[in-house]
Amino acid sequence: YSGGTTLNGGTVSFGSNSDANLGATSGGLTFNGGQISYSDGLVLNRAVAINANAALTNAITVNGVLSGSSSLSQSGSDVATFANTGNTFTGTVNSGYAMTFASLGDSANPYNFGNGSASFTWTGGAKTFALRPFNFSTTGNGQIRNNGSGALVIQQNLGITGTAGARTLFLGGTNTTST
């Protein structure tokens, strides 16, 4: 069909990993709530707007611009990659496993790491997160990796909550800390 897809809640499921399952790529994908459920390896070459809570499952790569200011959640044990360097998303991120960003807007909305070995990988240019807190609420290990072309600066405290016990925070790349 022509046009894009708008979700107003519920779940849209499809088995084949075809971007065409969501309409014309020029029409984009808008979340006003809801989730998409798909096979591993879905590649979206369309803009994705998060206007209300959105959920993703399995491995996905979004090559279009990610925008909006609501909540984006990822579940499963696969990587969600947001490859566009023009992403402006400023909402809360709830990472269930691994998420990779080429760009991400700065805001006071947190980046929350879920249970297990949740990770945040940066692949863009130099970036300072002056407002966005990064929170670990996990019984496993958390990772922040800078695989980008410049410095990645997080100016907010790293929050670690949850049950008592040993945890590991891995910081990839060259690191500078201050107190």
Asked whether residue 126 carries a pLDDT value surpassing 60, the answer given is yes
Go through 3-32 and write b for each residue having 16 or more CB atoms within 10 A of its CB, e for each that does not. Answer: ebbebeeeeeeeeebebebbbebebbbbbb
**pLDDT(164) > 60:** no
Per-residue confidence (pLDDT) for residue 135, from 0 to 100? 84
Please give the share of the chain, as a percent, with pLDDT higher than 70.
84
Give CA–CA dist 65/92, Å, rounded: 17
- Quick: pLDDT tens for 63-101: 999 999 999 998 877 899 999 999 999 999 998 888 999
At position 12, the amino acid (one-letter code) is V
Task: Return all residues near 84 (Cβ < 8 A) that are at least 6 apart.
Answer: 62, 63, 64, 65, 66, 102, 103
Q: Is the pLDDT of residue 54 over 90?
A: yes
In this prediction, residue 118 carries a pLDDT of 81
